[in-house]
């Protein structure tokens, strides 16, 4: 069974590209793509910032635990 006869042309484009959109349609499509990229980058930056915050907090908590440990001298018993 061959898959290649299912495709008429090697280039498959979206309807915007095939219709030769210009003017307001092209501006709207490009604006939507830009908005989605801005939202994606914002969410990823927030996620990575939160991870960095958790790493710094864990490091600070570990340092506090190390300085607050009390050593018990067992030789006196």
Phi-psi region of 71 (alpha: psi -120 to 50; beta: other; left: phi over 0): beta
Per-residue pLDDT tens for 59-77? 988 877 777 765 555 665 5
7-24 CB burial, b ≥16 within 10 A, e <16: eeeeeeeeeeeeeeeeee
Q: For 8-62, write each residue's pLDDT tens digit.
A: 655 665 665 656 667 887 788 889 999 999 999 999 999 999 999 999 999 988 8
The pLDDT score that the predictor gives to residue 45 is 98
Q: What ranges do the domains of the chain cover?
A: 19-67
Q: What is the pTM of this model?
A: 0.56
Judged against a pLDDT cut of 70, whether residue 6 lies above it is answered with: no
């Amino acid at each position: 069974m061959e898959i290649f006869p299912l495709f008429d042309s090697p280039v498959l484009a979206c309807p915007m590209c095939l219709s030769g959109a210009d003017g307001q349609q092209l501006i709207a499509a490009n604006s939507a793509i830009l908005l989605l990229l801005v939202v994606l980058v914002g969410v990823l930056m927030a996620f990575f910032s939160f991870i960095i915050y958790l790493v710094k907090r864990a490091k600070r908590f570990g340092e506090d635990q190390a300085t607050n440990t009390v050593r018990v001298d067992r030789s006196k018993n």
